Amino acid sequence: MSGGLRFVAARAAALRGRVRVPGDKSVSHRAILFASLADGVSRIRGFLEGEDTLATAAVFRRLGVRIETLGEGERLVHGVGIDGLRGSDTALDCGNAGTAMRLLAGLLCAQRFDSTLIGDASLSKRPMRRVIEPLQRMGAQIESHDGLPPLLIRGGRQLHGIDYTLPVASAQVKSALLLAGLYAEGETLVREPHPTRDYTESMLRQFGVAIDYAPGHARLRGGQRLAACDVEVPADFSSAAFFLVAASIVPGSDLLLEAVGMNPRRTGLLASLREMGADIAIEREAVQGGEAVADLRVRHAPLHGIEVPIERVPDMIDEFPALFVAAAAAAGPTVVRGAAELRVKESDRLATMSTALRTLGARIDETPDGATIHGGHLLAGGHVHAHGDHRIAMSAAIAGQIASGPVTIDDCDNVATSFPGFVELATAIGFDLAARRHT
């Protein structure tokens, strides 16, 4: 076994307290991007200090944007305007951030200069053809290794608008096409088979772009400029999800999660947990920087299995590893269908999460596009490999809180990509969880 960060999780007592999880990763990526393209200076508060979002900021610095760090979670971005980016003489490293690479592909294919996008070993295995092909239809020239990174993007191409229906619902691909559409001649219309999160559309409007959007479609015309504005980043629902599940399944728990982003295209897990019998109250609803936020009060409650509605899948695609843990702790079967997208995330999450929970004694029948998790079996201790996937690592750590023996989780370094300080926050509310380096 190679060295790296290892988690060791064990059965917890009740989880209690108040916690604010880090800023939303999706919003943080987009805030840096749009602020960089705007005319004027934008202030971002609540920015996620994770490796993925820091990689995005580093890319824009390479492209000539001045980004000041004013303090933890606060950035001042001196926008260069829609036509002010400068080419980089070295490759642009997206690290582990698939969002960054896909959105940057849409942006950079419209620039005057050539660019090369690279990523880490995990990102280099993630499919990019789904974003390359529609961009090529708009006139972009992008070269790849059979649809995989690195991406060599040729500049100096005139793009034209497109009326495109996504074959698979993807907020990242939609966002890439809308970014390219800002530079294209005419109008760009993106249609979706299922509505996905609308952070790009909402933030474009916040930056002054005229965009028509509703669940399932977005339309804008090229040639518009962005005006600087301030962005408040809500707490990340995907990060809160781990604590929603943990407090639901650890007896005696009573936990308050503060100012969580409640974008309806992100909260499918909340609906599923409540349908399973979870005791989660929505309190102090507000609007923060154009996004709905609320406190979530979660108390332990007995859960039962459900069949997750297929139409809900896009609204909880990042939360399925955590849902699998809730399903393993629930009475009866939980059925997931229509989630083949999980196979092309940081790991094959259907396979990796099924294997992890089987190792701990759960019974799971895996299918090509989902799984049936037969809940009600006591989880045991065991040794889990996260395969460099931050959501697998954190989900396994939740499972450890109700296991009969210690759960050792290897390859957890990438937790820092989305949830810096996870172990510290978790232990502060009662998790039995330790992180250590091993060789």
The catalytic residues are: 318
> 134: left (phi > 0), else alpha (psi -120 to 50), else beta?
alpha
Residue 246 in tokens: 């943990």
CA distances from residue 85 to 19, 45, 287 in whole angstroms, order as listed: 39, 23, 32
Sign of CA dihedral 321, 283, 401, 9: positive
For residue 252, give every residue at least 6 positions away whose Cβ sits within 8 Å of its Cβ, in sequence order, or none. Answer: 13, 14, 300
DSSP secondary structure letter of residue 167: S
Residue 405 in tokens: 């023996």
Alpha-helix residue ranges (DSSP H) falling in 63-161: 98-108, 129-137
| C-alpha to C-alpha distance for 138 and 107, rounded to whole angstroms | 12
| C-alpha to C-alpha distance for 291 and 400, rounded to whole angstroms | 33
Q: Is 170 helix (H, G, I), strand (E, B) or coil?
A: coil
SS3 readout for 373-392: EEECCCCCCEEEECCCCHHH
Sign of CA dihedral 226, 231, 234, 236: positive
> 277: left (phi > 0), else alpha (psi -120 to 50), else beta?
left
Q: DSSP labels for 310-361? A: GGGGGGGGGGHHHHHHHHHHSBEEEEE-S-GGGGGSSS-HHHHHHHHHHHTT
Burial of 2 (0-12, 13-18, 19+ CB in 10 A): exposed
